[in-house]
């Protein structure tokens, strides 16, 4: 077991790149190494911005989570994945 505090989570992170007509999309695949509802979570991200929840894939295997994420982002414009608000107005 890993020596983390009670209630903390530890993940192994692997990065994937999907090259689309609009540019690359990074998918951060997280493998839970401690207790978690889902063993694997695939999150599209652009630099430090993560995509909205509706594009996240989860599953009991790396392949399941990654494929679900890829299906969710297929045919979605990159600009729609990463909705960034302008805090300055």
> What number of other Cβ atoms are within 10 A of residue 38's Cβ?
15
In this model, does residue 34 exceed pLDDT 80? yes
pLDDT of residue 1: 76
Q: What is the pTM of this model?
A: 0.85
Residue-range definition of the domain harbouring residue 15: 11-81
Q: What is the CATH number of the domain that holds 53?
A: 3.30.160
Q: Once rounded to an integer, what is the mean pLDDT over residues 37-50?
A: 91
DSSP assignment, residue 78?
H
Q: Is residue 89 part of a domain?
A: no
pLDDT of residue 70: 97
Nearest to 69 by CA among 45, 46, 48: 45
Q: Which two tokens stand for residue 77?
A: 């414009």
Q: Structurally, how many domains does the chain consist of? A: 1
């Amino acid at each position: 077991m890993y020596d983390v505090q009670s209630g903390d989570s530890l993940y192994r992170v692997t990065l994937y790149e999907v090259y689309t007509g609009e540019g690359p999309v990074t998918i951060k695949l997280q493998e839970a190494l401690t207790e978690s509802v889902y063993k694997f979570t695939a999150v599209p991200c652009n630099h430090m911005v993560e995509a909205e929840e509706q594009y996240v894939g989860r599953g009991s295997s790396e392949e399941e989570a990654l494929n679900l994420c890829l299906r969710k982002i297929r045919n979605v414009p990159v600009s729609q994945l990463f909705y960034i608000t302008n805090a300055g107005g």
